[in-house]
Amino acid sequence: MYGYYKSPLHPLRISKEGVNLLIEKDGNNLRYKRTSSNETVEKILLTKDCGIIINPIEVLKFQKQLAQYQLIEFEKSVFVEPRDTNNIYLTFPVDIGIFISGRKNYDLLDTFTFAKQKYTLYGTPRDGVICKYH
């Protein structure tokens, strides 16, 4: 699914885990359509020749969302010795970005995720922040 797709002469159809993407010619333009169980996004691309890039992106990097932070909870507590450092590697859900690319630039067209969205409050109701929870 990930990769670079040249402006399609034939419709580009991708289906994965309940998400369907369609990019097809619509007269002199292109039509982008994404459907999932609870959402449909449709856009007209005023272009005759462009590239489409499908790439994983960090959840909060490209768009303003409800939450600007992530709260990742470990199954077991992790402690580091005082005044010491350590590298910890973890996994977390990413969004999938659909970009339209021109000659030298690209722009975000759409984002979606296969992960269930969960949010939590970190801190007090008065001074806390809303976080994406994983």
Per residue in 68-103, pLDDT (tens digit) is: 788 888 889 989 999 999 998 888 877 888 888 877
Higher per-residue pLDDT: 90 or 62: 90
Are 78 and 119 within 8 A, CB to CB? no
Task: Centre a 10 Å sphere on the Cβ of residue 96 and count the other Cβ atoms it contains.
Answer: 19
For the record, the structure tokens of 76 come out as 């077991």
Is pLDDT above 80 for 115? no
By the 8 A CB rule, do 133 and 71 touch? yes
Q: Collapsing DSSP states into helix, strand and coil, what is residue 113?
A: coil
Q: How many Cα atoms are found within 13 Å in the side-chain-facing hemisphere of 99?
A: 18
- Answer whether 0.85 is exceeded by the pTM: no
Give, in order, the Cα–Cα distances in Å from 45 to each of 31, 34, 82, 108, 114: 6, 14, 55, 12, 25
Residue 32 is predicted with a pLDDT of: 92
